[in-house]
Amino acid sequence: MFKKLLIASACFLGSLTFAQAQRQCGTPDVEQMLSISPKELREKFHKIEDHTTDFVRNFKQDKNTGVIIIPVVVHVVYNNTAQNITDAMIQSQINILNADFRRTNADKTNTPSAFAGVASDFEIEFKMATRDPQGNPTTGITRTSTTKTFFEYGGADAQGVFVKQATTGGKDAWDPRYYLNMWVCNFGGASADLLGYATFPTDAGTFKDGVVMSYKYFGLNPTLGGVYGYGRTTTHEVGHWLNLRHIWGDANCGNDQVTDTPTQQTSNGGCPAFPKTSCSNGANGDMFMNYMDYTNDQCMNMFTAGQKARGRALFATGGVRATFLASQGLGGGTTACPTALNTPAGLTSSAVTTNTATVAWTAVSGATSYNVNFKTTASTTWSNVTSATTSTSLTGLLASTAYEYRVQAVCGTTLSAFSANGTLTTTAAAVAYCASKGNSVADEWIGAVRLARSTTTIFSNTSGANAGYGNFTATAYTVGLGNALTITITPAWKATKYNEGYSVWIDYNRDGDFADAGEQVTSQAITQVTPITKSFTVPATASLGTTRMRVSMKYNGVPTACEAISYGEVEDYTLNIVTTAREAMEQSAGASTDFILYPNPAADKVTVRFENTVEQNKGTITIANAQGQIIKTQEFDAQELGMIEQIIDLQGVQKGFYLVKVSAEGLKEVRKLVVRNE
């Protein structure tokens, strides 16, 4: 079921939105924002919405034909070397934005066929500025060393603006009428789990206008995994900057003011299976793969035509971001594309490894970006990445495999022919990860292994010579989905024949190999016996039952085959992480339908209804305001299983937005509550 655009609805989403570790935005509820916003801001909101409505109605007459180019400046505000991210990492994020907004992302093939018809090329691209506001050449990157160890949205910095001002340890914006300002910094304090936040167009042209991101989640960082490591948080936040709302409309079965996104009950997390239905939205269910939902990075893959129309309205005549079309940040605004483009040539490859390679080509005059296809020579299906420069990195390649690649120049809807195919062959994989436990005591591993959940030891093996890690095998440990797990290994080597060193590998994503980024915990000389610690979280999307983790040792500098090692004997040591049904249920994605607040909005009283599944003496219900201050606490008797209803008196509670939290053993639920006490 698709929504109808409610022209008369005035849903003010506020000037800031942010995503936390569970991709929860802190934007106050619509009703509250309308009640507390200054009159001038409300009027600006209505003006933007009226303009957007008129534009959407006549979208086919959009006069800004072709691709709109947005000059970007990235302000890196850092306190240490790790926070001072590289130019390459910044460019990787720009590449991701362009792939997502132009729908050249490789994972677009994951869009269900039911939604493929409305999936859209936004025809907006992002380029690093080449001219600063004073007319000087620039890379589009500023770097500011700060004495502040972190920034926050909330706490002492209620509006999240300290990073945007030099006087408060940050960096002043470049003219926001002509540049998309992005600040990259470290978050902490009240925002320790913050991924990023952005302004809506109601702040267009002000010093606050732009996107703020944690340095940890800006750019392509596969070591973080598929949840936050693929740059989709920035795509989501730039969507807000382009006037897109959360796809569920920030309300139960709410309205995001877009006609071709299905109504859905609330946000989705993780990677739901298609279809996932709610709000009677029909056989196709939620559009959880939309960038404006809260699913994992690797599960997002589309914007819709309706979202495109809403975003491009900002750049039409009378739109609050129309000034970008006159920006000199790139020497011009909207690209005037030629009618034809030359075919790229001069293809080269470099930095070829077992699973990555860099390919490059000569620039094509008039091109604003390039499509790069690649495939194994044995395959008939091409994969695609987009690059705004004349080189790009190919990742996820297979070892010892021949590949073909080709390049196409792009400017708006003008495409060149593909180049002649270039070729490359990836290097051989490292020798198999052989844990050599020889046939004599002289070749034994000696060491200790400690397996812990948080700080509590749940297994310890301190066996010595002639035992190795044998006692660590085939032992089950109950660890709930989403729980933190730490492995500490203290190995030593008794023999000297193969004493080049050792490495520890953990197959923590459970795919049966150790070929993924981040799975080599450490490598050190054999003379060292420093404990090695690896911490990770058992994925919340793991299947019930046994999840295998593997710990193996290997030589550094071993021969090309394990059999060439004297006394060689392959050994894998396995942790069997067993998850429980109850913990799986608690960690499952999506909100529980067994926890209800009514009425909501409420006035003098609110009823809290939820299911109790664990017999216990007491539980508590708390109500906290937007600053996290608890203003109401009420205990409940939890000795009976089943549905519990509690009525909370709201006498004295001021009008506004609140969070209601139910806490008891095995139970933790949070919901939004709007109080209107007039």
Same domain, 361 and 237: no
Q: How far apart are CA 173 and CA 73, in angstroms?
A: 9
Radius of gyration of the chain (CA): 27
pLDDT value, residue 293: 94
Q: How far apart are CA 288 and CA 392, in angstroms?
A: 29
Which of 8-12, 191-195, 638-642 has the highest mean predicted lDDT (pLDDT)?
A: 191-195
pLDDT value, residue 434: 32
Q: Can you give the CATH number for the domain in which 408 is found?
A: 2.60.40.10
Task: Indicate which residues carry an active-site annotation.
Answer: 237
Say if residue 259's pLDDT is above 90.
yes
Top pLDDT among 140 and 447 is at 140
- For 590-619, what is each residue's pLDDT tens digit? 334 467 888 878 888 888 888 777 776 688
Which of 401-405, 407-411, 460-464, 583-587 has the highest mean predicted lDDT (pLDDT)?
A: 401-405
Residue 343, domain member (yes or no) = no
Say if residue 32's pLDDT is above 60.
no
Same domain, 354 and 320: no
Same domain, 249 and 390: no
pLDDT value, residue 431: 37
Same domain, 598 and 579: no
Q: 3-class DSSP state for residue 414?
A: strand
- For 284-300, what is each residue's pLDDT tens digit? 999 999 999 999 999 99
What backbone torsions phi and psi does residue 450 show, to the nearest 5 degrees?
A: -125, 125
Q: Can you give the CATH number for the domain in which 640 is found?
A: 2.60.40.3080
Q: How far apart are CA 602 and CA 598, in angstroms?
A: 7
Is the torsion defined by CA of 535, 541, 546, 550 positive or negative? negative
What residue type is 202 in one-letter code?
A: T
Q: How far apart are CA 245 and CA 237, in angstroms?
A: 10
Q: How far apart are CA 310 and CA 289, in angstroms?
A: 19
Mention every residue, 6+ apart, whose C-beta is less than 8 A from residue 572: 435, 550, 551, 552
Domain boundary at 585, 601, 616, which? 585
Same domain, 617 and 597: yes
CB atoms within 10 A of CB 287: 29
Q: What are 419's two structure tokens?
A: 């180049």
Q: How far apart are CA 327 and CA 129, in angstroms?
A: 10
Which of 245-249, 426-430, 583-587 has the highest mean predicted lDDT (pLDDT)?
A: 245-249
Q: How far apart are CA 302 and CA 290, in angstroms?
A: 5
pLDDT value, residue 558: 35
What residue type is 628 in one-letter code?
A: G
Same domain, 188 and 318: yes
Mention every residue, 6+ apart, whose C-beta is less than 8 A from residue 486: 451, 452, 453, 454, 533, 534, 535
Say if residue 630's pLDDT is above 70.
yes
- For 569-578, what is each residue's pLDDT tens digit? 233 344 444 4
pLDDT value, residue 303: 97
Residue 401, domain member (yes or no) = yes
Chain centroid to Cα 107, Å, comes to 15
Residue 338, domain member (yes or no) = no
% of the chain surpassing 70 pLDDT = 67
Residue 434, domain member (yes or no) = no
Half-sphere exposure in the Cβ direction for 51 (13 Å, CA): 21
Confidence label for 271 from pLDDT (cuts 50, 70 and 90): very high
Residue 4, domain member (yes or no) = no
Residue 365, domain member (yes or no) = yes
- 3-class DSSP string for 457-510: EEEEECCCCCCCCHHHCCEEEECCCCCEEEEEEEEEECCCCCCCCEEEEECCCC
Top pLDDT among 114 and 637 is at 114
Same domain, 576 and 492: yes
Q: 3-class DSSP state for residue 57?
A: helix
Residue 334, domain member (yes or no) = no
End-to-end CA distance of the chain: 35
Same domain, 30 and 165: yes
pLDDT value, residue 328: 86
Residue 660, domain member (yes or no) = yes
Q: 3-class DSSP state for residue 189?
A: helix
Q: What mean pLDDT do residues 531-549 have?
A: 46
Same domain, 93 and 195: yes
| Pairing verdict, β 520-524 and 502-506 | antiparallel
Nearest to 211 by CA among 247, 188, 179, 257: 179
Which 8-state DSSP code applies to residue 145? Answer: E
pLDDT value, residue 333: 45
Q: Domain count of the chain?
A: 4
Which of 467-471, 500-504, 672-676 has the highest mean predicted lDDT (pLDDT)?
A: 672-676
CB of 320 within 8 A of CB of 310? no
Confidence label for 521 from pLDDT (cuts 50, 70 and 90): low
Q: How far apart are CA 532 and CA 504, in angstroms?
A: 8
Say if residue 149's pLDDT is above 80.
yes
pTM score of the predicted model: 0.51
Q: Can you give the CATH number for the domain in which 58 is found?
A: 3.40.390.10
pLDDT value, residue 440: 29
Upstream peptide bond of 601 is cis (omega within 30 degrees of 0):
yes
Nearest to 391 by CA among 341, 350, 356: 350
Residue 516: left if φ>0, alpha if ψ -120 to 50, beta else—which one?
A: beta
Q: Can you give the CATH number for the domain in which 470 is found?
A: 2.70.50
| b/e burial code for range 457-487 (CB count within 10 A of at least 16 → b) | eeeebebeeebbbeebeeeeeebbbbbebbb
Q: Where are the beta strands (DSSP E) in 602-641?
A: 605-612, 618-625, 630-637
Q: Which class for 199: exposed (0-12), middle (13-18), buried (19 or more C-beta within 10 A)?
A: buried
Domain boundary at 401, 425, 449, which? 425
- For 170-186, what is each residue's pLDDT tens digit? 999 999 999 999 999 99
Q: What mean pLDDT do residues 487-502 have?
A: 41
Confidence label for 661 from pLDDT (cuts 50, 70 and 90): confident
Domain boundary at 378, 400, 425, which? 425
Q: How far apart are CA 381 and CA 378, in angstroms?
A: 9
| Mean pLDDT score of the chain | 75
Same domain, 503 and 559: yes
Top pLDDT among 46 and 453 is at 46
CB atoms within 10 A of CB 276: 17
In order of 439, 461, 472, 503, 510, the CA distances from 572 in angstroms are: 16, 16, 10, 13, 14
What's the helix, strand, coil split of the chain in %, to 5?
15, 30, 50
- Parent domain of 544: 441-585
pLDDT value, residue 193: 83
- For 432-464, what is each residue's pLDDT tens digit? 333 333 322 233 333 344 444 444 454 444 443
- Among 242-256, 375-389, 471-485, the least confident range: 471-485
Same domain, 289 and 416: no
Same domain, 516 and 611: no
pLDDT value, residue 441: 27
- 3-class DSSP string for 355-382: CCEEEECCCCCCCCEEEEEEEECCCCCC
